[in-house]
Copies of this chain bind each other. A is one copy, B any other.
């Protein structure tokens, strides 16, 4: 793919081009608004956002606070990412010299390890000593792992000393999680010295975090932003609902699922009719906590969630690290009309602090436009994000400029980032509370959910 080329957008591209024009025309207003927002809300250290572009709708469908694909960013994206990391570090711990990076514990995935190596490089470039520590009890001594291209990565066992965490001979100022804590909140990270900055905070981990809380905050951000630029908020915001007590294996909660699927499909259908959109509505049913594209179903009719067979139930019941699914989010499906060659594509935007630092297309040859693409067989195509995503070409014709499409993607991704900032503020435990002793129900679901 040529750096300047933009993936094909299907025939429904019309409305999105008007939307692109509206965003570009109001860029000073938009950037001023973001500056104000970031004065009031602290951005997460980093994040990645999955977007879907349906032509009639452009919306975030997932916000990851432990992004694992930095290795998929273009090399050209590095300098800006380093600069952004510098800002993030200055904000969190200006006196920092040492940073401990805690990756996922399934250390055999070479792509993920390349992500860790890239992150290490990114964080070392602003002048930090970066070392990698594992939460895995099986890792008992420093272990060097060879990577393709001759690089290697050394992972060391984490040590707790009093109220600080570190490695042998290494007492970091910043502890950066690239582990989403699906496996639970590790005791070694409880009650750390406040002078040792843990980023993102523990309650950003999937042991505590809920997608529904995120999208509830996103409702607010999307409404404010749509009002700011005079756009229809639905254009950038997928509807959603939540079922809090589901047990797929025991077939509990199917009624709640069917009810919400039916209700959402009806609401989507109304919006399609109002806007003359000739599509068949669908929803995505997925775990309210968790990631890695596991436990996800595309549903076009309420009957599909009742009487699931054993295979379907097993698929939905457990996600990463054996985490049981009991809470489910039902989200409006946004078809993706972007294709690269014959393959369906969705953009993933990477951010550090409040800056877009790059992105890529997740491409899947064997999936449909209404399916999750985060599945085995996916490929990654770097976005020409540094060509350059923060320098739109305001004179180009709508749709003609990759810069402009990517600038718009960066705006929508930053809306999701802002929602994550609100979410982390609002779900933060009281200073005295110890997250580890709270039952899941008390930790999440405390926020009202949209209809």
Measuring CB to CB, which residues of chain A are less than 8 angstroms from any residue of chain B?
Answer: 27-32, 34-36, 38-39, 76, 78-80, 82-84, 86-87, 89-90, 94-97, 121, 124-129, 355, 386, 388-392
Among B28, B76, B86, B127, the residue within 8 A (CB) of A127 is B28
Whole-angstrom distance from the CB of A93 to the nearest CB of chain B? Answer: 10
* A95 to B389 alpha-carbon distance, docked (Å): 23
- Can you list 10 pairs linking A and B with CB atoms under 8 Å apart? A29-B127, A32-B96, A32-B97, A35-B96, A36-B95, A79-B390, A83-B83, A87-B87, A121-B391, A125-B391
Asked whether, in the complex, the Cβ of A84 is within 8 Å of the Cβ of B82, the reply is: no
Asked whether, in the complex, the Cβ of A79 is within 8 Å of the Cβ of B388, the reply is: yes
Asked whether, in the complex, the Cβ of A28 is within 8 Å of the Cβ of B389, the reply is: no
Per assembly, the copies of the chain total: 2
Whole-angstrom distance from the CB of A134 to the nearest CB of chain B? Answer: 22
Overall SS of chain A's interface: helix
In the complex, the chain B residue whose C-beta lies closest to that of A126 is B31
Asked whether, in the complex, the Cβ of A125 is within 8 Å of the Cβ of B390, the reply is: yes
Among B27, B38, B90, B97, the residue within 8 A (CB) of A28 is B97
User: Beyond A79-B391, A83-B84, is A127–B35 a contact (Cβ under 8 Å)?
Assistant: yes
A90 contacts across to B, CB distance below 8 A: 35, 38
A128 contacts across to B, CB distance below 8 A: 28, 31-32
Asked whether, in the complex, the Cβ of B388 is within 8 Å of the Cβ of A78, the reply is: yes
Asked whether, in the complex, the Cβ of A35 is within 8 Å of the Cβ of B95, the reply is: yes
* A158 to B28 alpha-carbon distance, docked (Å): 22
Output the residue of A30, A78, A83 with the most chain B CB within 10 A.
Answer: A83
* A176 to B221 alpha-carbon distance, docked (Å): 33
Ranked nearest first, the 3 interchain pairs of A and B with the lowest CB-CB distance are: A31-B127, A79-B388, A82-B390
Name 7 extra pairs, CB < 8 A, besides A29-B127, A34-B127.
Answer: A27-B124, A31-B127, A39-B94, A76-B76, A79-B80, A125-B391, A126-B390
Asked whether, in the complex, the Cβ of B83 is within 8 Å of the Cβ of A390, the reply is: yes
A121 contacts across to B, CB distance below 8 A: 391
* A125 to B90 alpha-carbon distance, docked (Å): 23
* A29 to B96 alpha-carbon distance, docked (Å): 10
Whole-angstrom distance from the CB of A84 to the nearest CB of chain B? Answer: 7
Among B86, B89, B97, B392, the residue within 8 A (CB) of A125 is B392
